[in-house]
Structure 1
Amino acid sequence: MESKLYQNRTFETIDYSEQSLANTEFVNCEFINCNFSKSDLSHNDFLDCTFKNCNLSLATLRNTGLKNIKFISCKLMGLDFSACNSFLFSMNFEDCILDYSTFIYKKLKKTNFTDCSLKETDFSNTDLSLAIFKNCDLSSATFVESILEKTDFRSSRNYAFDPSENKIKGTKVSHTALAGLLQKFDFVIE
């Protein structure tokens, strides 16, 4: 199958829902108000792209390249980012809904999550060193054997993880979150 290349293009208000898009490379493109819900984005590459007000919920990302991507005000529910191509994998999220997504075994060093909902998101075995969670809701998010070194959770809420099951050197947390970090010890904190 022949591959396609799009550079420096803007795609606006396009409905790709439940469609398959394959062997396409997007470089420095912008997607605005596009619907990718339940679409198959496997085997595509996105480099230096921005998604604004897009819905990618339940899209398939098998071997999808996401390299230096910005998601702004997007709905990204139930995405399996762990299936993405790991080469140059990097993203930042602002005002996004990432509930029920998974990043298992991904390297997300220095990733910024700003004003995001990350309810029940799975970060098991994920490298989040130097990542910033700014004003995020992490209700029931999973952190097991994750690298959280110098990760900043201070302005976020509802996060809980077992310090003995994660690498936490230099992790920044607020004093109000200490109860969630000590949950397994069944302390009574007053």
Structure 2
Amino acid sequence: MAKTFWTDQEFTKQDYTHQKLPKGDYENCRFVDCLFSEGYLDNQNFVECTFEGCDLTNANIAHTTFHDVTFTDCKMVGVQFETCNHLLLTLHFTGCNLSVASFQGLNLPSIIFEDCKFHQTDFTETFLKGAKFTNCDLENAIFEGTDLEKTDFRSSINFNIDPSLNRLKKTRFKKDGLIGLLKKYDIVVS
């Protein structure tokens, strides 16, 4: 089956849970309130696209290219980002639920996450140097072997980061958030 090229198209309220999104290259396209839950987005190419209010829960994104792609107010529970194409990977997230997702081993320097939920999300061995987690909830998120140099957690909550297992040089925290660095010691700070 030949791939198709779409540019400057808008896809609104489409249900791709039973019928797959046609294989192809999508450039500067907009997906609004579309359902991809449990669906297949594998082997696609998205360049400068936006996903707004979409449900991508447990979507298969294996070998998919995301270059300068923005996700806004999307449900992305369980998405395995490490399976996508790492070449040219550039992502932006605002208001998304990324719980139980995985970014394991990805190179995401200076990525910005705004108002996102990361409950039990895996950031093991992820390169997040210079990243910003703005107003994010990181309850039970996994950071192990993660490069968090110059990463900004000042407005985020519920993180548990072991300084002995991660690179934290010049990482930014608010004073009242420092307890998230001490949880492994089971000490009480009041």
TM-score scaled by structure 2? 0.96
Q: Report the counterpart of residue 156 of structure 1 in structure 2.
A: 156
Q: Report the counterpart of residue 106 of structure 1 in structure 2.
A: 106
CA distance in 2, matches of 1:180, 1:53: 31
Q: Report the counterpart of residue 65 of structure 1 in structure 2.
A: 65
| CA deviation profile, 1:48-86 (whole Å, cap 9, x unmatched) | 000111111110011111111110111111100010000
Map of 1:110-129 to 2, 5 A cutoff?
Answer: 110-129=110-129
Structure 2 stretches of 5 or more lacking a match? none
After TM superposition, give the deviation of residue 18 of structure 1 in Å. Answer: 3.7
Distance 1:77 1:18, change over 3 A: farther
After TM superposition, give the deviation of residue 186 of structure 1 in Å. Answer: 3.1
Q: Report the counterpart of residue 188 of structure 2 in structure 1.
A: 188
Q: Secondary structure at the match of 1:71?
A: strand
Q: Report the counterpart of residue 33 of structure 2 in structure 1.
A: 33
Indicate the RMSD between aligned Cα atoms, in angstroms: 1.1
* Aligned amino acid, residue 5 of structure 1: F
Q: Report the counterpart of residue 175 of structure 1 in structure 2.
A: 175
* Conserved 8 A contact 1:19-1:38: no
TM-score scaled by structure 1? 0.96
| CA deviation profile, 1:98-118 (whole Å, cap 9, x unmatched) | 111000011111111111111
Give the aligned length: 190
Q: Secondary structure at the match of 1:164?
A: coil
1:83 aligns with 2:88: no
CA distance in 2, matches of 1:124, 1:80: 13
Q: Report the counterpart of residue 139 of structure 1 in structure 2.
A: 139
CA distance in 2, matches of 1:18, 1:120: 28
CA distance in 2, matches of 1:25, 1:35: 19
* Aligned amino acid, residue 35 of structure 2: N
* Aligned amino acid, residue 82 of structure 1: E
After TM superposition, give the deviation of residue 178 of structure 1 in Å. Answer: 1.4
More off after superposition, 116-125 vs 12-21: 12-21
| CA deviation profile, 1:132-154 (whole Å, cap 9, x unmatched) | 10001000000000010100000
CA distance in 1, matches of 2:6, 2:39: 19
* Aligned amino acid, residue 85 of structure 1: N
| Percent of aligned pairs sharing the same letter | 38
* Aligned amino acid, residue 179 of structure 1: I
